[in-house]
Amino acid sequence: MVSAGPEGLYVECADVRGCLSAGDGIDYDQATGVIAADISTDAGNQTTIGTDGGIYTPAGDATAVEGGTTPTASNTGTGSPGTPFVVSTDVILDPTPPGGRSNLLQTSPDGLYVDCSDVRGCISAGDGIDYDPVTGIIAADISGDAGNQTNIGIISGFERTTGM
């Protein structure tokens, strides 16, 4: 996931998008990072995306709402005026993902997110690299050994200093 460019090493959003996947009711495009509602194409479904971009089901008879209970969604009620259908959803984050590390995915009132400071702990520095997990800055680690002729050049690239 770490790449090298003319100015140094970097990790882009597209490099970490593979860490996420979609569950029921969610459409996630790893190529673009766009997360959207996945509206069912089952016969009789009247739910769509409204003109304001939200999930919309027009008023109608009770057959317009169909659903079941899953770990992230449940429905109650009979659909009658006294006990209308109530569909509840909740995102459940796995506290112990299969990889054995902490889950980087978090929730906020605005939705799901991955914080850069959490991603920084996913990488570490090897030989020749200086990495600061607090700031996320990755730089070349130039050896201080006697006789080393490697420097960072004027345009931030490596150069060899010739001996005198």
**Residue 2 region, left (φ>0) first, then alpha (ψ -120 to 50), else beta?**
beta
Question: pTM value?
Answer: 0.38
Helix (H) or strand (E) holding 119: helix 116-119
**pLDDT tens digits, one per residue of 20-68:** 777 777 777 877 777 777 888 888 788 888 888 777 877 765 444 555 5
3-state helix, strand, coil in the chain (%, to 5): 10, 30, 60
Residue percentage of the chain with pLDDT more than 70: 74
Of 76 and 151, the one with more pLDDT? 76
The pLDDT, as a whole number, for residue 134 is 84
Q: For the residues 114-132, what does the mean pLDDT come to?
A: 78
Contact 64, 57 (CB under 8 A): yes
